[in-house]
Structures are given as C-alpha cells and as structure tokens.
Structure 1
C-alpha cells in the first residue's frame, strides 16, 4: 500500500507513525515544504522569551530518524502544488533542485496545516513585519529583537499575540497590543477577558482596543485613530488553512478553506484524508463541523487518520474548543461556547459566575479564582465555561470539558466526586459552587 502524506508536522507524522505500527507492508512518503519535521509550534513564544533555550529543544524527532529508524521516505523542501484524485498522483516542486516531482498514492493524507493571516495594509512588506508560526519565523524574530529595539507593537490579541507579549516583555521591551475589537482574548467573554487586560496593564503592557490598522509606514503603525511608533511589528490575527492548491480537486471545504472531514477523517473524495489545522473539527456542543486549530487536536486527528488509513477503524469524537493560556501571573482556560457564540447560534442560555478561591479559603496561600458556567436555559445542559486565576483554572476547565463530552447538565456537576484537601481545593469545588449558585 502506497501512503502519501503532505505535511511533516503534528498531524502528518502522528498519522505516519500509526501507519508504520499497523501496516508492515506500508510504503510511506511524506512531502514537507519546509526543512524541519515534527516540532512543537506552541513552544515558540517561550523560545522568544528565553524560557526555552533554543528551537532545537522543540523538535520531537529529526527527519533522519523517520528515515533510518522507521523507513519513511521523509522528504524536505518538497512542496505539493496539485493533487489528481482520478489518477491518484501528487505533483509539486522540489525546492532543493528546482525540479518538478510526481508521487503516486493509494491513500493520501493532507496535513498541510495553516499559515498566518496577513492583511493587505498599506506599506506591508515581508521585511517590516513578523509572524510566528514556524521555527524559521522564530529565528528571524530573535535575530531582529536587537538591543536597539525598544518599542514592539503586536497586532492581534489571541493566544499567540498574548503569549508573545508576555515573553517579549521578559526582554525588557515596551509592548503595545493593538486589537480592532472591544476586548482582548476573544475566546473569553468580555467580563472574563477584562481580567486579562488588567493583568496586561499591571505589567506595563499597553492595550489599545477598537482601533483598526490601516498602514505600516516609516517605522510606525497607523490605525483609524492614531499613529504609534514601532521598532518591530508582529502580526497575529489568525491563520488560514493551507489548502489553496486543492481547489481544482473538488474536495469539499468550508468558506475559509478548511477541508470538511467525517469522523474517520475522510474527505469527500475516496482515498483522501485530512487532519490538523487544514481540516474541520467536529464541535460536540454545536454538533457540526467547526474550525478550531489547536495542537492537541492536530495530534489526535493525525493519529486517528493514520489508524483508519491502515485499516484500524477509529472515529474522531470531536472537540469542545478546550484551551488554556498562561499570561503573566494568570492561568486562563476555557471550553465550549462563549456568550458571543451562543448569541450568534440562537441557543437560549443562562450563566453562573463566581469569584471564589482555588483551595480552602482559610488555607494560607489561597488565591482568587474567577469561574463562569454557561448552560441551556431550558434543559440545564452545560454549554461552556471559563476560569481565570493564578492557579487551578485548568483543572476546573478540564473537568468541565469532560462534562461537555458526556452531555451533562449543570445540576449533575454537583454529583461529581471531586478531590478535596485544604491545600488544593475547597470542600465544594469551584465548579460545584457555580452549579449550586445557578440553582
């Protein structure tokens, strides 16, 4: 069986390893546009801040390992430019020698990931801005973060924007975040995101809201309201799936280019699978395909795609959009839907919010914990939640993610047997406190 995988990072190599383990006769070819395989993209901001000493620490397996130990034809600088589903051939360009290539397949996995969005602002060039998605992006940023760089402007306040703000702050730079919306961290509701904004300002990070960038000229960022000096500019406004080269194949995609897959990670064309940041992710609360590109999902989808390609049936159960971010002294976590998303969907809901402590209130180092639950107005079924505090937020959201997976109601949270000891929790866990308040 000839397996071809386009993309050599999280989803692609998770799939490749499952095929190796489950098909002794497999012939596996991986086509990677870059030169680095299987690395932890989520660690890149911490390399910038010096918490991780080099990008080398992020590489899980080098390309030579896949070749020599696992017998995979792992190619670098091979960019796939088209797929012919009728003849089952992938064509592209080998950037090592500039020559075209063709690779036939019996089963194909598209794991091409996503690329940072770069709006067409006046004056934008590849030289005067930075994005952080790959190791080469990060190396270039580190090279440009010289001592003479004093003022850094970050455009966009999602996961990467906030993590970069914290880590570049560690380098003693002046940071300004520009966000066109009315809040930072749109994965949280405004009342919860306000806690993150206060944390930014407490650490000297300037947050500029409700301003849209219009031009980047002469070392300045110009918005619809002001002009800001910028010795270095980072753009972090989202990503788009790397699927433009597939438009002529007839593969079904969402409007943003994400490849629609079923629970076996199969596309609309037989023999072709997709996984990771280029594919859709079934949302267990919305009960429909969504696009939530996260590293955990890419690894999980890749593994399941590889198993199915090798004939070992396994289904992808879906995601709730569970995520967590460290931002200075705070841990902020969320899962499920926000109020903004619920209002768009028309689902009737209620909320229950509390400010409590992350352990027994009388314990010496108990810290504040803010927690918010969202649940169906009529049935009580849990729809989402958010938690922010110095510690303990991720534990509560992970429990809530499991509750969402099992379609539990807010009342059923009270029935859970959760651990208790004064140094780590109150006798009623914050989740259960919020559930009781809802009643």
Structure 2
C-alpha cells in the first residue's frame, strides 16, 4: 500500500507515525513545502522574549529522524499544486529549483494546515511588516528587532495578537494593538473581554478599538500605519488578523465549510474515496453546537492526525468532536473558554441563562491577592451546561478543563456540585469557584 501525506507538521506526522507503527508492508511519502517538520507553532511567540531560547527549540522531531529512524520518505520544499483524485496522483513543484514532481497514491491524507490572512493593503510588503506562523517567520522578526525598534503595532487582538503583545512588552517595546471590533478576543462575551482590556491598561499596552487598517507607508521599511480614522507612527507591525485553511489548490470535488475547510466525517474521511484530511485544513465536529465547526488548534490537529493515520491502515477509530476549549496567558492573567459563549448561544437560538461571579482561586484566609472571574452559560430549564469563560491570576486552566470534561459528558450545573474536586487551602476553597458559580443557578 502506498500512502502520501501532504503536510509535515502536527496532523501529518501524527498520522505518519501511526502508519509506521502498523503491521504490513507500506510505502510512505510525506510532502512538506517548507524545510522543517513537526514543530510547535504555539511556542513561537515566546521565542521573541526568550522564554523559549531559540525558535528551533520548538521542533519535536527533525526531518533526518523521520527518514533515518522511522523510514519515512520525508521530502522538503515540495509544494503540492494539484491533486487528481481520478488518477490518484499529487503533483507540484520543488520550491528551491522549480522542478516539477508527481507521485501516485493508494491512499492520501491532506494535512496542509492553514495560512495567515494577508489583506491586500497598500504598503503591506514594506520591510518591518510580519506575521508569525513558522520558525522562519520568527527568525525574521528577531533579526529585525536587532535594529532600533521602539514602537510595535499589532493588528488584531485575538490569541496570537495578545501573546505577541505580551512578549514584545517583555523586551521593553511600546506596544499598540489595533482592533477593528469593539473588544479584544471576540470569542468571549463583552463583559469578560473587559477584564482583558483592564489588564492591557495595567501593562501600558495601548488598545485602539473600532478602527480599520487601510495602508502602510515608509521609505522601504514601515514608518506609519494608516487606519480609516488616523495615522500611527510605528517601527514594526505584526499582523494577526486570522488564518485560512490551505485548501485553495484542491478541486471542487471536495466538500468545504464556510471558511474553506475540508469537511470530514468522524473517521477523518473526505467525500472523495481514499482521501482523508486532518488538522487546520479540516473541519471539527462541535459536540455542543452539534454541527461541523472550524477550530484550528494544535490539540485537534494531533488528535485528528492520529485517528486519520489509524484509519488509513484499516482502523475504525472515530474523532469524538470538540467542545471548544482554549486557554491563553496574557501578561498577569490567564484566559480560558470552553463550550458556548452567550453570543454563540444566541446565534443558535438556545433558551439560556448565565451566571458570573468573582471570587478567589484558593482559600480566602490563605491568600487574598488573586481573583478569579467565572461565567457559566447554561440552558434555562434543564440547567444543562453550555459553556464557561474564566479569567484570573491563578487556576484558570484547572477549572476550564473541569468544565470541558463536564461539557463532554453533557452535565448540568447541578451535576457540577456533585463533583469530587481536590481541596487544600493553597489550591482551592472547600467549594471550587465553578461550584460556587453553579450554586447560583439553583
């Protein structure tokens, strides 16, 4: 059996390792358009401040290791341009030479990830304007920071924008965030997003709301950012305005979601025979929304890749879906979300209610320094839990994972009160904050 995997990062190589570990004879070719395999993209912002020593430290396994230890024909600089699902071939060009290639397959996995959105703004190709998605991207930013850089402007206040703001601030830069909408992290409700704005003010990170970037100007390198309302002096611009699935090279025989992601079933199969997809180029079933969704995260990519690899070699594993869990560090606060926000519940026409409390993550007599704000969203009549947003200085990750597990098992707010959660004064009160919030729903 001949397998081809397009993409050499999380989903692709998780699948590849399942094929390697399977029984039976096989030929396995992986095609990566870059030169680096299997690296943790989420760690790259922390290489800017030096928390991660070097960008290359996020590499999990080298290309040579995949080749020499695991016997994978791991190719680099191979940019796939076309998939012929009738002839069962993939073709493209080698980026370093321009030479073309074509390979046949028995079974194919598309794990091409996603590309940063690069709007067609005037001046966007000036020096000093970056996005951060790959190790080379990160090294380019670090090299540019060797110049006299004081003012950094970040376009976009989502996950990566906030992480980059923190890390630029940590190395002494003046940081401004330009946000087209009226809040940071649109995934959250406005009342919770206000806590992030408060932290930005505390850290002297300027946030500009309600302005749209129009262009950039400067003499070879960026000097000004122009919005629809005013101009901003800047020495460096970081674009963080979203990503789009890397599926543009595929034909219309595939089914796609609203963002261009490939629709897959629970076995990671596409609608085309012998073609699977996984990771940031594919859809994820959302258990609470009860529909296909697009949530490009490394956790999903690795899990989907593993399941796809097992099924490529004849397995019958199912991807059980997501509940929409994420966590983020922004300066001195942690931000967690799982399930539905109030906004999402409204969009789905669910009859819901909410409760929000601000409490302490540990016993009150142990420390009164830290605070934790918990917001639960639940069905009004049944009390079935729909989601949570938690922001605070300590213990956010613990609580958001508890709620994520409760969501997976379709628990109610009343069920939360029955959970046997750990307690000792340095870690918790006798009633955990999520249980304190659940009490208010009775």
Q: TM tier, shorter chain?
A: over 0.9
CA distance in 1, matches of 2:15, 2:231: 47
Query: Post-superposition, which runs of at least 4 consecutive aligned residues in structure 1 deviate over 2 A?
Result: none
The answer to which of 22-31 and 403-412 deviates more is 22-31
CA distance in 2, matches of 1:403, 1:14: 27
- What residue is the counterpart of 2:105 in the other structure? 105
- What residue is the counterpart of 2:281 in the other structure? 278
The answer to which of 138-147 and 395-404 deviates more is 138-147
Contact 1:41 1:133 in 2 (8 A): yes
CA distance in 1, matches of 2:153, 2:173: 10
CA distance in 2, matches of 1:396, 1:93: 48
TM-superposed deviation, 1:366: 5.3
Select the residue among 318, 324, 330 that pairs with 2:327.
324
Contact 2:287 2:323 in 1 (8 A): yes
Contact 1:28 1:72 in 2 (8 A): yes
State the Cα deviation string for residues 350-390 of structure 1 (Å, max 9, x = none): 00111110011111365211000000122211111011111
State the Cα deviation string for residues 156-198 of structure 1 (Å, max 9, x = none): 0111000000001111110000000000011221111111111
Contact 1:358 1:366 in 2 (8 A): no
TM-superposed deviation, 1:316: 0.2
Name the SS of the counterpart of 2:302 in structure 1: helix
Contact 2:36 2:62 in 1 (8 A): yes
- What residue is the counterpart of 1:228 in the other structure? 232
Select the residue among 254, 259, 272 that pairs with 1:256.
259
Alignment pair present for 1:60 and 2:71: no
- What residue is the counterpart of 2:360 in the other structure? 357
TM-score, L = length of structure 2: 0.97
TM-superposed deviation, 1:199: 0.7
Q: RMSD of the alignment, in Å?
A: 1.1
Contact 1:324 1:394 in 2 (8 A): yes
TM-score, L = length of structure 1: 0.98
5+ residue gaps in structure 1?
Answer: none
1:304-383 residue pairs with structure 2 within 5 A?
304-364=307-367, 367-383=370-386
Alignment pair present for 1:201 and 2:201: yes
Contact 2:360 2:368 in 1 (8 A): no
TM-superposed deviation, 1:24: 3.5
TM-superposed deviation, 1:147: 4.3
- What residue is the counterpart of 1:420 in the other structure? 423
Contact 2:19 2:312 in 1 (8 A): yes
1:15-164 residue pairs with structure 2 within 5 A?
15-125=15-125, 127-164=127-164
TM-superposed deviation, 1:128: 4.3
TM-superposed deviation, 1:426: 0.7
CA separation of 1:422/1:366 partners in 2, compared to 1, >3 Å: closer, same or farther?
farther
Q: Give the count of matched residue pairs.
A: 438
TM-superposed deviation, 1:85: 0.6
- What residue is the counterpart of 2:296 in the other structure? 293
TM-superposed deviation, 1:50: 0.9
CA distance in 2, matches of 1:36, 1:7: 10
State the Cα deviation string for residues 56-104 of structure 1 (Å, max 9, x = none): 2110000000001111000000011000111110011122332111111
CA distance in 2, matches of 1:377, 1:147: 56
CA separation of 1:317/1:172 partners in 2, compared to 1, >3 Å: closer, same or farther?
same
Name the SS of the counterpart of 2:64 in structure 1: helix
Contact 1:214 1:222 in 2 (8 A): yes
CA distance in 1, matches of 2:96, 2:204: 46
1:3-22 residue pairs with structure 2 within 5 A?
3-22=3-22
TM-superposed deviation, 1:315: 0.3
CA distance in 1, matches of 2:22, 2:126: 43
CA distance in 2, matches of 1:364, 1:291: 40
CA distance in 2, matches of 1:121, 1:376: 43
5+ residue gaps in structure 2?
Answer: none
